[in-house]
Amino acid sequence: MFFIIHAKKNLIFMYRVARASEYLVITGSGIDDIKIAKKSWVFPGQSYSIFDISPVNYTFEVMAMSAEKLPFILPAVFTIGPRADDQESLHKYARLISSHDKQSNHMNELVKGVIEGETRVLAASMTMEQIFKGTKEFKQEVFDKVQLEMNQFGLWIYNANVKQLVDVAGHEYFSYLGQKTQMEAANQAKIDVSEAKMKGEIGAKLREGQTLQNAAKIDAETKIISTQRQGEGKKEEVKVRTEVKVFENEREAEVAEANAELAIKKAKCAKDAQVAEVEATKAVALREAELQKEVEIMNALTQTEKLKAEFLSKASVEYETKVQEANWELYRKQKAAEAILYEKEKEAEAQKAMAEATFFARQQVADGELYAKQKEAEGLVALAQAQGTYIRTLLGALGGNYGALRDYLMINGGMYQEIAKINAEAVKGLKPKISIWTGASGVGEEGDGHSGAMKEVAGVYKMLPPLFNTVHEQTGMLPPTWMGKIKDPDC
């Protein structure tokens, strides 16, 4: 830094140069907002400050809770500092953060608040199993979400080290999960040792059995040769008998070998089903007992084969006969079952075809009825629309007079003639005497001296005599004496 002093105006001009990890922030006269530079002149009316962009470590222990409401601690160390390769981020940091010390409580609380908030939100959407198994993905997602929030302050996460998740006191989930993993590994190791031991013992017993079988075969061949030398008369008989015995020995050896393989497979299946439920030590003991049992069985079979050597021919013939009979009976039953199954399938196909035909016929009838109903409905709608148009046209021609429209429709439809006809049919053949009278008379009409009320009373009294005459003629009843007498019509 050096100064230049103006001789006439006594003005001081400063030239400032920032260090490698620093930047100058200049504000004041001639600068709209702020100016960020590594070196610059500072003129009168301007002020400047220097901020360091070197990153700082922030260590936290974030308390979070999973989706199952299980709490845990997430130890984390974040290396955070201003983003030096982006001018916009530098402006944000210089404007918002540069006035605070990077190790101050304000910065610690700011960074801690962002990290804790994003971590808790992310952990609340995941189960504890997902967090534990996907620790790498969980850390990366925390890093991405925190960086997104830090961008608005111009900060950059240079490094984020999220340590192993830690249990909260009283909630030892991770310790129990670790113990479970260790026990599973130890049990698997015991199982592998047991399987290796089992294969070794089985191989040894198998070799021993093959040795005994080969020895028996050699003994049989030796007997054949010695028998052939005993005499030419019995040569063919001894040869055939010996060949039969050799063949049966080979068959029995193959059966014994197949039984041994079947026993091995059964033992392996039993072991796989039980190892998951019992401890490895019990599985080893059980397997040893099974292997010992197999050894005893193999020994017993070997002794049995030696004892049966003289009776193999007859037993083989009987065995083949029984097998053929059983195969024939099985074949006959299979063919009978196939015939019954074929008949049942044909019956089912016929019933299915009949059901489909019935359904199609009913569907066609229903479609026809539906079509007829639709056409009938369309006709009714068209008729209603035509009648509506006809009535609207008549009503418009009559000037909107509903009474005139009704009278026209009744006249045009012949309703008055129909009413007269019905009334005439009702009294036809009765020969009634019909009296017609009116209240019109010269008395009480307009022009005389009576008022309107008296005219009405006079009209009522004028109606009574003809009414009484009519009632008397049709029913034979006479009015009361106080109402007067009926005048004789002949007088």
149 within domain boundaries: yes
Query: Is the domain of 97 the same as that of 14?
Result: no
Q: What is the CATH number of the domain that holds 80?
A: 3.30.479.30
Of 140, 136, 142, 102, residue with least CA distance to 121: 142
385 within domain boundaries: no
6 within domain boundaries: yes
Model pLDDT, residue 356: 85
For the stretch 220-228, contacts whose Cβ atoms lie closer than 8 Å and that sit 24 or more positions apart, written own/partner, are 220/245, 220/246, 220/249, 220/309, 221/246
Neighbours of 117 (CB within 10 A): 14
Query: Is the domain of 47 the same as that of 57?
Result: no
5 within domain boundaries: yes
Query: Is the domain of 63 the same as that of 108?
Result: yes
Given a cut of 60, is residue 128 above it in pLDDT? yes
The predicted model gives 108-127 an average pLDDT of 81
Backbone phi, then psi, for 38, in 5-degree steps? Answer: -85, -30
Model pLDDT, residue 321: 77
The domain containing residue 108 runs over which residues?
Answer: 53-171
The predicted model gives 344-365 an average pLDDT of 85
Model pLDDT, residue 235: 66
Least confident of 73-77, 195-199, 242-246, 306-310: 306-310
186 vs 77, higher pLDDT? 77
DSSP string of 234-254? Answer: THHHHHHHHHHHHHHHHHHHH
Backbone phi, then psi, for 14, in 5-degree steps? Answer: -115, 140
Amino acid occupying residue 203: G
362 vs 434, higher pLDDT? 362
Model pLDDT, residue 239: 73
Confidence of residue 349 (pLDDT cuts 50, 70, 90): confident
> Which are the contacts of 150, defined by CB distance < 8 A and separation ≥ 6?
80, 111, 114, 156, 157
Give the model confidence (pLDDT) of 258-279 as tens digits: 777 877 877 777 777 666 666 7
Query: Is the domain of 87 the same as that of 146?
Result: yes
CA dihedral 170, 174, 176, 177 (to 10 degrees): 160
Query: Is the domain of 117 the same as that of 19?
Result: no
Of 45, 49, 43, 41, residue with least CA distance to 25: 49
437 within domain boundaries: no
Give the model confidence (pLDDT) of 403-429 as tens digits: 888 888 888 878 878 888 887 777 676
Model pLDDT, residue 447: 46
Given a cut of 60, is residue 341 above it in pLDDT? yes
Alpha carbon distance 173, 487 (integer Å): 125
Backbone phi, then psi, for 292, in 5-degree steps? Answer: -65, -40
Model pLDDT, residue 192: 74
End position of a domain, from candidates 136, 171, 206? 171
Give the model confidence (pLDDT) of 153-201 as tens digits: 888 888 877 766 665 665 555 565 666 666 766 677 778 777 777 777 7
End position of a domain, from candidates 36, 52, 68? 52
Query: Is the domain of 74 the same as that of 161?
Result: yes
Query: Is the domain of 35 the same as that of 62?
Result: no
Q: Which of 36-50, 52-66, 129-143, 185-199 has the highest mean pLDDT?
A: 36-50
Given a cut of 60, is residue 34 above it in pLDDT? yes
Confidence of residue 251 (pLDDT cuts 50, 70, 90): confident
The predicted model gives 1-15 an average pLDDT of 55
Grouping H, G, I as helix, E, B as strand and the rest as coil, residue 24 is strand
DSSP string of 445-490? Answer: SBTBS--HHHHHHHHHHHHHHHHHHHHHHHH-----GGG--PPPTT
Neighbours of 235 (CB within 10 A): 13
Model pLDDT, residue 386: 85
Query: Is the domain of 101 the same as that of 161?
Result: yes
Alpha carbon distance 431, 455 (integer Å): 35
Query: Is the domain of 121 the same as that of 28?
Result: no
**Mean pLDDT, all residues of the chain:** 76
The predicted model gives 17-39 an average pLDDT of 85
Query: Is the domain of 157 the same as that of 65?
Result: yes
End position of a domain, from candidates 128, 145, 171? 171
120 within domain boundaries: yes
The two tokens of residue 183 are 């026990």
242 within domain boundaries: no
Least confident of 242-256, 275-289, 362-376: 275-289
- The model scores a pTM over 0.85: no
Confidence of residue 257 (pLDDT cuts 50, 70, 90): confident
* Share above pLDDT 90 across residues of the chain, in percent, rounded to a whole number: 0
Query: Is the domain of 76 the same as that of 166?
Result: yes
Query: How many domains does the chain divide into?
Result: 2
Query: Is the domain of 89 the same as that of 44?
Result: no
Give the model confidence (pLDDT) of 441-488 as tens digits: 444 444 444 456 667 666 766 766 777 777 777 777 777 766 666 666
DSSP state of 441: -
136 within domain boundaries: yes
